[in-house]
Amino acid sequence: VFIVRFLPSRKIAHLHSSASILEAAREAGVGIESTCGGKHKCGKCKVVVKSDPQSLSPPDEIEQKILGPSLLQRGYRLACMARVSKDTSVFVPRESRSAAQVILTSARDLPSPNSLRSPLKAYDIEVPPPTLSSPIADRERLLNLMASEYRLPHLATDPHVVRKIPFALRQNEGKVAVMVRKGQEIIGISEKKYSTAWGVAVDLGSTTIVAYLVDLFGANIVATKSTMNPQIPYGDDVISRISFCQQEAHGLQKLHKAAISAINGLIAEACEAADIMPEHIMEVAVVGNTAMHHFFLGVDPRFVSLAPYAPCLSSAQAYKASELGIKISNSGYVYLPPIKAGFVGSDSIACVLSTGLYRSRTNSLLIDIGTNGEIVLGNRDRMICCSTAAGPAFEGGHVKWGMRAASGAIEQVRIDPKTLDVTLSTIHGQQPIGICGSGLISAVAELIRTGCISHRGSFNKDLNTNRLRKGQRGMEFVLSWKEENPTGHDIVITQKDIAELQMAKGAIRAGISILMESLGSDIKRIYLAGAGGNYIDPSDAQTIGLIPSPPGCRIIGCGNAAGHGACLALIDLKSRRHAEKIANKMEYVELAGSARFQDLFFSHMFFEPPH
């Protein structure tokens, strides 16, 4: 058994065989950034050996190339490549720690309960006792009453409910309350009246998971809890997690269980905050992108990443929570709204539901910006959608100083047009340690506005400022001098970073253009959804040409629209029907292999000439 100690946290992994530092970190629960998912590509998982360098396998050519001689000399190693051969201690530098992302949890208020059709209804009833001349069974007397008095024939009951019936009926002379799901099944029986039915809506994002505890009868969110997705150590984005589950024995099980236990943890936290028991929760609704949806169900999503990108299942599902290991009432259910395609998941459907795009007369555009940009354009008559592989730039990946939207991330940049002095805003106002997606967009927008870069994206070398300089691999612009931040380095934007953003925004904008060519360019509303979308400054987004600027169009950051849509699906059967209709009706445009998309992608990689 080897022991690996992680500094500064002092967490420890016990290894039974040789493993990489990254694997040991997963074991110990230490978050190390690994945008490429341990594939020896991103170079984000740098750690420093603090014990005998011989305790790790020597760096091979690839690792030497990624790190360079100077870092190697200072004891730096890539956690994904260095394998443990003895007890060792490693230090995880600040920039390699996977920071807690700022999680967008705010969902809009829910509609009035009067306008909803709840999947759960409570009935207060009085079941007559059995008699010697008619010793009808307990369950059958109860069911007969529900059929005759409430026109609910053939109600199902699972063993858990059946086991409770005889005692409940004898507690209070046959007076009981029953909870009926969708007019089809008794999922609860109690000698006390039900004050409400409790439910949980879950937005299962690749990066963050948010759970809303909802009082279904009052249509109130009573607690909101969120966490980083514990699948992150297995790969930052869904593609690397899919490869993880292809390559690792029990990889799928690990990802499935990570999602389930994280959700169980959030449910327990939310229940504690509201002073109820998880057993009181009767229904859960979960939305996520297709890969997360599949991981949640324990379904291997590997074929989603291969042409023609078909999901394993797409229609709405309802399973007993216990079948999936979700810890709520034994008889409770998990509902999953439908997904549309391999890269348009139920989170997108939930956004369409939440924004009301599906019932608007005029065209609306909905963009969920992330590694994959899901785009929906439409109105109540027609909706079309597509998904573009934007790459990780919007989440800080492939960007020299990129990071997630966590404390200390630069989220807004202002450059004085005359002096080219820089003013930064960071998340939580802390000293800057990197740049998140909205910060990158903001910086590039300012560089465009101040003429520092051309519409093709290249730096204007004639500028008279020491911020613009030649770096190791081409030109770079200094946002923060090393004296102004705790990293010990200048924080810069490189020519390559700008190119990454150009590709990301080109892909999304090309997707938008494809949809507009099909449905028209008269757009009255643009919804920016998801954590990324919500924090992006609309004018920055228009400056870099990420989104179009149709006349008279409102741009709306719509918060956690997926979470809000999950809440609607949780509490309202009509919303479930709408979600199912949206999935059926919405047309999916596959961009992979489209020559037109390629053309548009290349032309949208450039910025529009400044006004």
Q: Which residues bind a second copy (CB under 8 A)?
A: 130-133, 135-141, 157-159, 162-163, 165-167, 170, 297-300, 302-303, 307-315, 319, 323-324, 339, 341-342, 588, 590, 592-593
What is the closest distance, in whole angstroms, from the C-beta atom of residue 176 to a second copy in the complex?
Answer: 14
Write the DSSP assignment of 17-43 as a string of letters: S--BHHHHHHHHT--B--TTSSSS-S-
Q: Which residues pair with 385 in a beta bridge?
A: 376, 588
Residue with smaller CB distance to a second copy, 109 or 140? 140
Q: Give which of 301, 281, 279 is closest to 291, Cα–Cα.
A: 301
The residue among 43 and 174 lying less far from a second copy, judged by its C-beta, is: 174
| Interacting residues of 65 by C-beta distance below 8 A, sequence separation 6+ | none
**Does residue 544 contact residue 447 with C-beta atoms inside 8 Å?**
no
Summary count for the chain: helices (H), strands (E): 16, 27
Half-sphere exposure of 415 (CA within 13 A, CB side): 23
Q: How far is the CB of 307 from a second copy (least distance, A)?
A: 6
Tally of CB atoms within 10 A around 438: 27
363, β-bridge pairs: 523
Smallest distance from a second copy to CB 139, Å: 4
Closest approach of a second copy to the CB of residue 515, in Å: 17
d(CA 496, CA 537): 23
Kindly compute the dihedral angle of the four CA atoms of residues 124, 130, 131, 133, in this order, to the nearest 10 degrees: 120
Query: Least Å distance between CB 188 and a second copy?
Result: 17
Instruction: Give the tokens for residue 260.
Output: 């389930």
Closest separation in Å from C-beta 348 to a second copy: 15
Give every strand in the sheet of 88-91, ordered side by side.
Answer: 11-15, 2-7, 88-91, 46-49, 76-78
Nearer to a second copy, 138 or 490 (CB): 138
Smallest distance, a second copy to C-beta of residue 39, A: 24
Q: Closest separation between CB of residue 305 and a second copy, Å? A: 12
Q: Which residue, 48 or 313, is less far from a second copy as judged by CB?
A: 313
Other beta carbons less than 10 A from residue 277's beta carbon: 12
Query: CB-wise, 100 or 312, nearer to a second copy?
Result: 312
Nearer to a second copy, 177 or 312 (CB): 312
At 461 the three-state DSSP class reads: coil
CB of 137 to a second copy, least distance (A): 4
The least CB distance from residue 418 to a second copy, in Å, is 52
Residues whose CB is less than 8 angstroms from the CB of residue 53 and which lie 6 or more positions away in sequence, other chains included? 75
The helix-helix angle for 437-449 and 495-519 (nearest 10°) equals 90
Using the minimum distance from each CB to a second copy, give the nearer residue, 298 or 538: 298
Query: How far lies 321's CA from each of 42, 72, 181, 286, 567, in Å?
Result: 38, 50, 14, 11, 17
Nearest alpha carbon to residue 391 among 376, 368, 372: 372
